[in-house]
Amino acid sequence: MLQSERPKAAQRAANVAIVGATGAVGVELIGCLERRGFPTASLRLLASERSAGRRIGGHVVEAVSMDAFAGVDVAFFSAGAGVSRAYAPLAAAQGALVVDNSSAFRMDPNVALVVPEVNAADLPAGPGIVANPNCVTAVSVMALGPLRALGGIVRVIGATYQSASGAGAAAMDELTASTAAQLAGEAFAPKVLPHPYAFNLFSHNAAVDPETGYNGEEEKVMAEHRKILGLPDLRISFTCVRVPVLRAHSMALSVEFDRPVSPSAAREILAEAPGVRLVDDRAANHFPMPVEASGEDDVLVGRIRQDLSDPEGKTLALFLSGDQLLRGAALNAVLIAERLWR
């Protein structure tokens, strides 16, 4: 509140770089910066050698290199964990505020992992790397964070309905191309994803831990919930599933508290929560859907009810949909940058 009352003129414009500018998230980052009026003095778009020379909105894409971060104030990384590990520390060492969308530093105890509406207090005071969470985590904690006002969260069981966009622009193309092929009665060999995607769904394609049976996506989501919510002992289990939806992630959550909780109290809290929109119309059977979450900044929350498998009344069931590219990635990264860049 106070910050937005400060005169805009007091804020110096930043030299901004986006690494991974040609990817699905990179494109949304450019859009979010513009739409939200992030004070940008210059915008440097960086990507792999392969994409260098492409033009995006008047900017020529440059190949990322050791020299690319000179004079950069704010750097967004969204080109995978390998690129982040190679270049993000370098950018930070040169004084940039780095917001990293990859998994490279999320669980580093020296790096803040932040959803600003939930744990802005974890943000560092000076330059360095801040991690943006996995897209499932980013959507989920938008509801779970505010619900801590009801009582301590002790257990979460989640099942996800994840969209193609989480696997990048090429996966979105594969979903539409394979679906068109099936409708035309033509064969289609998957190239990006390991399984047929048209009118199909499959367990998330991250590698599965041979011991626990959880896949890498689930492990990330579970660990990141604990870190962002500040609940190191949270009992949590997720099942992550890829569904044939283009760009919004949905999830069914069962959330247990340390005391009895009421759905109506949860609804009141979520109705006031920033970045959350209640879509919970039982009479009209209108609840969160990917088509309505797509392109929206807010996470849609509904199906809020007492979980009847808990006779003690401590558990709530919820259903969420949130835009994977915005709340799950680009928007959250820009919200972090807004808080850091003062």
Known binding residues are: 22-25, 50-51, 106, 162, 165-166, 242, 324
Can residue 180 be called a binding residue for its own copies (CB under 8 A)? Answer: yes
> Is 249 an annotated catalytic residue?
yes
CB of 277 to its own copies, least distance (A): 16
Q: Are the CB atoms for 196 and 85 separated by under 8 Å?
A: no
Q: Which of 32, 135, 204, 225 is catalytic?
A: 135
> Is 32 an annotated catalytic residue?
no
Can residue 194 be called a binding residue for its own copies (CB under 8 A)? Answer: yes
Q: Give the interface size with its own copies as a residue count (CB under 8 A).
A: 61
Single out the segment in contact with its own copies by CB under 8 A; choices: 13-21, 93-101, 145-153, 277-285: 277-285
The residue from 89, 95, 168, 196 that contacts its own copies (CB under 8 A) is: 196
Can residue 192 be called a binding residue for its own copies (CB under 8 A)? Answer: no
Can residue 304 be called a binding residue for its own copies (CB under 8 A)? Answer: yes
Q: Which of 204, 225, 240, 249 is catalytic?
A: 249
Q: Which of residues 154-173 bind its own copies (CB under 8 A)?
A: 155-157, 159, 161
Can residue 287 be called a binding residue for its own copies (CB under 8 A)? Answer: yes
Can residue 271 be called a binding residue for its own copies (CB under 8 A)? Answer: no
CB of 257 to its own copies, least distance (A): 14
Can residue 250 be called a binding residue for its own copies (CB under 8 A)? Answer: yes
Block residue for tokens 């919930």: 225
The contact set with its own copies (CB under 8 A) reads 155-157, 159, 161, 175-176, 179-180, 183, 194-196, 199-203, 205, 207-210, 212-215, 222, 235-237, 239, 241, 243-246, 250, 252, 254, 263, 282-283, 285, 287-291, 302-311, 317, 319
Catalytic residues: 135, 249
